[in-house]
């Protein structure tokens, strides 16, 4: 079986991968095609935008947090029923956590996906030729089939770029003009979303632009290759647990495969720390990351939910909290404005958004001969309190260097800045390891 499959790569971050991907997803959706979006790496923000543009929830493909076998399985599983698979790369095409390891190029090679490069053409013309040549020939086993240029000033500017492609032997598939309407401000690629920007409208605008300036039909033709085939599903390991997952505007950073793994444990129900005043009956609670710092008055004002969570944890309830969810369990959160708000109070410490500094990277948590991997990405920090760490746990980065990211434990609560990935296994294995 063949179908269009494309990985949108770039020479560097900031080239326009996300902009073009959102526009392409929306344009294909408008054509009546069923599109399955994927995202290379651990990002849980781009995937939300993909879902909005495509009308289909995106899936992370990450070869640090999961095995190559698992990545192939989920690509096949989610891509089988769609008309076209669109994968957005991460950083530059060959940028990984260790040379090419974990890079978009590694994913493209693993899955046999053709690559279309998006290049920033601002203040350059024929000099894109050696750049394209290098990307085409650095790893000949990769199929770099076409190029799209961003920030193009005019048709004459694009003519120079097209000539460079002809001399290199790669197809020029079109361009994205300089247009303030289709520039995502840098803060939207970070941890906050400006509510004044409507990403649904944004995707429509980009789709309309690229419909005029990009040869999408040719892109699909060049990227139509053999699909891996129908996945052979393993026997379901359906359990009988009831798992409550926080999901609302404040808490929504979660990997799709993590939720699928929870469904194998039993019934998954959702609740809102912003609006619900009581917890659903549950054997296990998951507080994912998100934007609690944008909803501090609402979270603090919902005393019913704060008390319910505190009572659940104090009586031995099993709970996993990640990043924003961990902050919510603290006694207080101080916002960027310096105002401090009361939170759940299970973890005797304070989180603050003051003096923000980005901390990010892959993490491997080791306890004896057991390991679990994940990703850390936040601007907040925790002021040390009295809460202890999980006994014997060591945390390393992707290069095997020890890092100071804590994994907190209180009764049957595990909390950390780390967004864990258990899509290849079971959340219970993670908790059993740490409790």
| Residues recognised as catalytic | 323
116 by Cβ neighbours in 10 Å (0-12 / 13-18 / 19+) ranks as buried
Look up residue 261 and give its two tokens. Answer: 């793994």
Please state, in angstroms and rounded to a whole number, the distance separating the CA atoms of residues 37 and 41.
13
Neighbours of 30 (CB within 10 A): 13
Residue pair 20/87 in contact by the 8 Å Cβ criterion? no
Question: Which DSSP string do the residues of 259-275 spell out, in sequence order?
Answer: HHHHHHHEEEEEE-TTT
Where do we find the tokens 């899509």? Answer: 423
**What's the distance, CA 9 to chain centroid?**
16
Among candidates 383, 254, 421, 270, which has minimal Cα distance to 325?
A: 254
Where do we find the tokens 């640090």? Answer: 64
- SS3 state at 57: coil
Please state, in angstroms and rounded to a whole number, the distance separating the CA atoms of residues 266 and 383.
36
Neighbours of 306 (CB within 10 A): 21
Instruction: Name 224's Cβ contacts closer than 8 Å, sequence gap at least 6.
Output: 2, 3, 4, 5
In the sheet that 407-410 helps form, which strands lie side by side, from edge to edge?
A: 266-271, 241-246, 284-287, 318-322, 413-416, 407-410
Residue pair 129/186 in contact by the 8 Å Cβ criterion? no
């Amino acid at each position: 079986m063949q179908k269009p499959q494309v990985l949108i790569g770039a020479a560097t971050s900031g080239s326009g991968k996300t902009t073009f991907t959102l526009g392409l997803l929306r344009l294909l959706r408008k054509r009546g095609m069923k599109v399955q979006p994927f995202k290379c790496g651990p990002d849980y923000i781009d995937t939300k935008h993909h879902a909005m543009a495509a009308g289909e929830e995106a899936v992370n493909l990450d070869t640090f947090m999961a095995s190559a076998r698992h990545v192939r399985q989920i690509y096949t599983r989610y891509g089988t029923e769609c008309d076209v698979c669109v994968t957005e790369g991460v950083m530059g095409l060959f940028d990984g956590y260790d040379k090419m390891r974990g890079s978009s190029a590694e994913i493209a090679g693993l899955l046999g996906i053709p690559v279309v490069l998006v290049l920033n053409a601002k203040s350059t013309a024929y000099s894109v030729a050696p750049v394209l040549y290098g990307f085409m020939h650095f790893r000949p086993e990769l199929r770099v089939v076409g190029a799209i240029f961003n920030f193009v000033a005019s048709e004459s500017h694009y003519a120079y770029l097209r000539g460079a492609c002809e001399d290199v032997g790669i197809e020029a598939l079109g361009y994205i003009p300089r247009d303030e309407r289709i520039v995502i401000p840098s803060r939207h690629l970070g941890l906050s979303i400006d509510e004044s920007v409507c990403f649904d409208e944004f995707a429509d605008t980009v789709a309309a632009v690229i419909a005029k300036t990009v040869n999408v039909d040719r892109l699909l033709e060049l990227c139509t290759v053999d699909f891996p085939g129908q996945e052979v599903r393993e026997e379901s390991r359906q359990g009988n647990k009831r798992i409550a997952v926080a999901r609302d505007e404040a808490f929504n950073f979660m990997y799709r495969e993590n939720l699928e793994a929870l469904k194998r444990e039993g019934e998954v129900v959702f609740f809102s720390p912003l609006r619900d005043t009581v917890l659903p009956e549950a054997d296990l609670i998951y507080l994912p990351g998100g934007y609690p710092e944008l909803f501090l008055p609402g979270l603090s004002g919902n005393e019913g939910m704060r008390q319910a969570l505190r009572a659940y944890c104090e009586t031995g309830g099993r709970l996993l909290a990640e990043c924003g969810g961990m902050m919510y369990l603290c006694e207080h959160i101080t916002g960027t404005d310096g105002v401090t708000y009361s939170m759940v109070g299970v973890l005797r410490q304070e989180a603050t958004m003051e003096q923000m500094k980005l901390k990010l990277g892959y993490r491997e948590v080791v306890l004896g001969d057991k390991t679990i991997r994940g990703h850390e990405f936040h601007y907040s920090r925790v002021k040390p309190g009295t809460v202890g760490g999980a006994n014997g746990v060591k945390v390393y980065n992707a290069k095997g260097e020890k890092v100071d990211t804590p994994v907190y434990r209180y009764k049957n609560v595990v909390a950390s800045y780390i967004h864990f990935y258990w899509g290849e296994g079971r959340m219970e294995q993670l908790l059993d390891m740490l409790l």
